[in-house]
Structure 1
Amino acid sequence: MKKHILMITPENKEINKFRKRQINNFIQITMPYLAAFIDEDKYDITLIDEYNQKIPFEAYYDLVVITVNTANAPHCYNLSKLFRNKGSKVAFGGPHATLLPEEAKEHCDVIIIGEAEESWPKFLEEFYCGNYKREYRCLNTPSLEGIPIPRRDLIKGRFFTKGAVFATRGCPYSCDYCNLKQIYEDSFRKRPIKEVIEDIKSIKSRFFVFWDDNFFGDIEYAKELLKELSKLNKKWAAQVTLERCKDEELLTLAKKAGCIYFFVGLESFSKNTLISVNKGINNVDKYKELINCVHKHGICVQAGIIFGFDTDTKEVFKTTLDMCNYLGIDGVTVSILTPLPRTPLHYQLSSEGRLLTQDWSYYNGKTRVAFQPKNMSPEELFSGYMWFRSNFYSLKSIVTRLKRSKTNILYNLIVNLGYKISIRKIVK
C-alpha cells in the first residue's frame, strides 16, 4: 500500500507578504529535487510551496517533510506540531536543522542532517518498511554525478519562475556572515556538464536561474558549461563573484549562452568593512571597472548590499545610494546584516552580548533587526535600510542608473518599476 507524503517549502506570513510583491522570485529547488528520489510505487507525493500555495491541513499524510531555514524555524515548529497532533510523522531537513540539530529534534520525529543524496533515499526506504531511525546524518561528501532531475511537474502555478538549476555546490570563500562552510563543510563540487544541460533542457520555460552559491567558482568548468549552454537558446541568471568578471572570455561566453544578469555580492563600498568580515576578495577600487565590463557585454548587475556592519554609520545609506547611482547598478538585493547560527558573526555578537533575541523569526534579514549595531540603534538601522530601498527604486534613481547601464533597457525598466510598486505597498 502506498504511503502519502507531503513536502513543504515553508514561508511564514511576514516574509511571504514581503516577497510576494516582487516579480522575479524563482522557486526554491530543494523539495522538487528531493521529490525526484522518491519511488512512486511506494509514495503518493504532494508538493506545497507556501510562497503561492496553502497547506492542506484537512488531509492526512503518513509523512510530512519540511525544509527548515533559520528565519522560518518557529513557523516550521508550529506546522510540525499541527501535523503531529493529527498522527502524521514529521521529518526536518535543511540549513537550520543541520546547524542546530539538537534544537530542531525537539519539534520533529526524524531529522536529516547535512546533504541528503545518500541519507534521504535510505530514510524513505526505512520509513516505508516501518523501521526508521530518529536521526540521519550525512557522513560522506556526496558526489553530484548521476543525481536526478527535479520534479518540476509537481510545482503548481509558477510557470515562469520554476526553472531553477544547480551546476555546482559550495563556495571557495569564507565570509564571516555566511553559513555555507558550516553546511557544506569545506568543499566545492561540480556536476557533470552533460547532466546539467539535460536538466536545463527539461525546463519548459525559456527562462531559468542557476541556484549555485558561486557559479564562477571554477572558471574553466564554467566556460565549458557555457559553450554547451549557448546551443539551447535559453535566458538565465546566476550568482557570481565580481572579481571573476575580469575574464573577458568568460563574459563573452556568458552573454552568448543567454545570460541576462549576474547577482554579485558587493555587500559594501567600504574597504574596511569588507576586510572586517573576511570578504577581501571584493576590491572596491575595481568595482567601476568590473561593472562597466559586465555592462559592456550586455549583462545586468543585481548587487547584493548588506547594512549593519560594525564599520557602518548612519551616513552609509546615502553613501551607498550615491555609489549605486554612479556605477549604474541595475538592481539590488538589499539585506540587514543577520547573525545566522554557527557563523563567526554569530559567535562574535553573542560573545559581545549584542544579540537582541533568539527568536529566529527576527533572522530573516528583511523585516527585522536581530542584534545591536555598533554605531546606530536597531531602529535607525531598519529605518535607513528602508530609506535606501525606497530611494534606490525612485524614478530619479531608476532613470540615472539605466542611463549609465544602458543594458537590457526594457527588461531592466520592468524589473525596477516592479520593485518600486512593491516597496510602495510595503511602506504603506
Structure 2
Amino acid sequence: MKKTILLITPENKEINKFRKKQVNNFVQITMPYLAGFIDESKYNISIIDEYNQKIPFNDDFDLIAITVNTSNASHCYKIASKFRSKGCKVVFGGPHATLMSDEAINYCDYIIIGEAEDTWPRFLEDFYDNKAKKLYKTECITSLKGLPIPRRDLIKGRYLTKGAVFATRGCPYNCSYCNLKQIYFNSFRTRPIEEVIDDIRSMNRRYFVFWDDNFFGDIEYAKRLMKELAKLNKKWAAQVTLERCEDEELLRLSRESGCIYFFVGLESFSEMSLASVNKRINNVDRYKRIIQLIHKNGISMQAGIIFGFDTDTKTVFRKTLEECNSLGIDGVTVSILTPLPKTPLYEQLKKENRLISTDWIYFNGKTRVAFKPKNMTPEELFNGYMWFRKEFYSMKSIIKRLLVSKTNIIYNFIVNLGYKFSIKETKFYNMN
C-alpha cells in the first residue's frame, strides 16, 4: 500500500511579503530534486512551495518533509507542530537542521543531517518499512554522479521561474559569514557534464538558472560544460566570483552558450571590509575593468551587496550607491550582514556579546538586524539599508545605470522595475 508524502519549501510571511513582487525569484530546487529519489510505487508525492502556495494543514499525510533554513526555523517548527498534533510524522533536513541539529531534533520525528544523496533514500526505505531511525547523518563525501532528474512536473504555478539546475557543489573560498563549509563537506565537486546536459534538456523552457554556489569554482570544468551547453540554444544565469571573470575565454564561452547575467558577490567597495570577513579574492581596484569585460560580452551583472561590516560607517550607503551607478551595475541583491550559526562571524559576535536576539527570524538578512554593528546603531544600519534599496531602484538610478551598462536593456529595465515596485516601507524591529 502506498504512503503519502508532502515535501515543503517553507517561507514565512515576513520574507514572502518582501519577495513577492520581484520578477526573478527562481524556484528552490531542493524539494523537486529530493522528489526525484522517491519510489512512486511506494509513495504518492506532493510538493508545496510557500512562495506561491498554502500548506494543506487539513489534509492527511503519512510523512511531511521540510527543508529548514535558519531564517525559517521558527516557522518550520510551527508547521511541524501542527502536523504532528494530527499524528503525521515529520522529517527535517536542510542547512539549519544540519547546523543546529541538537535544537531542530526536538521539533520533528526524524532528522537528516548533511548532504542527503545517500541518507534520504535510506530513510525513505526505512520509513516505508516502519523502522526509521531518529537520526540519519552523512559520514562521507557524496558523489554527484548518477543523480535523478528533479521532479519539476510537481512544481505548481511557477512556469517562468521553475527552471533551476545544479552542476557543482560547494565553493573553494572561506568567507567568514558563509556557512557552506559547515553544511557541506569541504570538497568542491562537479556533476558529470553529460548528466547536467540531460537535466537541462529535460526542462521544457529556454530560460534557466544554475543553482550552484560558485559556477566557476572549477574553471576548466565550466569551460567544458559551456561548450556542450552552447549546442542547446538556451538562456541562463549563474552565481560566480568576480576574480574568475578576468578569464576572457570563460566570458566568451559564457556568452556563446547563452548566458544572460551573472550574480556576483561584490559585498563591499571597501578593501578593509572585505578583508574583515576573509573575502580578499575581491579586489576593489579591479572592479571597473572586470565589470566592463562582463558587459562587453553582453552579460548583465546582479551584484550581491552587504551592509553592516565592522568597518562600515553611516557614509557607506551613499558611497555604495555612487559606485554602483558609476559602474553601471545592472541590479543588486542587497542584504544586512547576518551571523549564521556555526560560522566564524557568528562565533565572533557571540563572543563579543553583540547578538541582538536568539529568535532565528532575526537572521534573514532582509527585514531585521541580528547584531549590534560597531559604527552605528542597529536602527541606523537598517534605515541606511532601506534607503539604499529605494535609491538604487529609483528611476533616476535605473536610467543612469542602464546608460552605463548598455547591456540587455529591456530585460534589465523590467527586472529593475520589479524590484522597484516590490519595495515597501518596512518597520525596524527593536528588541528593546
Distance of 2:79 and 2:412 partners within structure 1? 38
2:371 maps to 1:371: yes
Partner of 2:237: 237
Partner of 2:71: 71
Partner of 2:194: 194
Q: TM-score, normalised by structure 1?
A: 0.99
Structure 2 gap ranges (5+): 428-432
Is the CA contact 2:367–2:426 (under 8 Å) kept in the aligned structure 1? no
Cα distance, 1:185 vs structure 2:
2.5
Distance of 1:425 and 1:186 partners within structure 2? 40
Distance of 1:370 and 1:148 partners within structure 2? 38
2:160 match: secondary structure: coil
Partner of 2:328: 328
Distance of 1:48 and 1:156 partners within structure 2? 8
2:194 match: secondary structure: helix
2:4 match: secondary structure: strand
Matching residue's letter, 2:76: C
1:362-401 correspondence runs (5 A): 362-401=362-401
Partner of 2:212: 212
Distance of 1:187 and 1:214 partners within structure 2? 13
Cα distance, 1:419 vs structure 2:
1.0
Deviations, residues 24-76 of structure 1 (Å, cap 9, x unaligned) = 00000000000000000100001000000010111100100000000000000
Matching residue's letter, 1:288: K
1:16-415 correspondence runs (5 A): 16-415=16-415
Deviations, residues 306-342 of structure 1 (Å, cap 9, x unaligned) = 0000000000000000000010000000000000000
1:301 match: secondary structure: strand
Q: TM-score, normalised by structure 2?
A: 0.98
2:231 match: secondary structure: coil
Matching residue's letter, 1:45: I
Cα distance, 1:423 vs structure 2:
1.2
Deviations, residues 246-305 of structure 1 (Å, cap 9, x unaligned) = 011110000111100000000000001111110000000000000000000000010000
Question: What is the count of residue pairs matched by the alignment?
Answer: 427
Ranges of 4+ aligned residues in structure 1 off by more than 4 Å: 424-427
2:263 match: secondary structure: strand
Deviations, residues 170-207 of structure 1 (Å, cap 9, x unaligned) = 00000000000001121100000000000000111111
Q: Quick check: 415-424 or 4-13, which moved more?
A: 415-424
Structure 1 gap ranges (5+): none
Cα distance, 1:21 vs structure 2:
1.4
Is the CA contact 2:27–2:161 (under 8 Å) kept in the aligned structure 1? yes
Cα distance, 1:425 vs structure 2:
7.0
2:306 match: secondary structure: strand
1:174 match: secondary structure: coil
Cα distance, 1:159 vs structure 2:
0.7
1:230 match: secondary structure: helix
Distance of 1:425 and 1:202 partners within structure 2? 41
**Alignment root-mean-square deviation, CA:** 0.8
Distance of 2:287 and 2:160 partners within structure 1? 32
Distance of 1:307 and 1:185 partners within structure 2? 28
1:260 match: secondary structure: strand
1:157 match: secondary structure: coil
Distance of 2:381 and 2:167 partners within structure 1? 36
Partner of 1:6: 6
Cα distance, 1:412 vs structure 2:
0.8
Matching residue's letter, 1:133: K
Matching residue's letter, 1:387: W
Deviations, residues 125-170 of structure 1 (Å, cap 9, x unaligned) = 0000001100000011110000001000000000110000000000
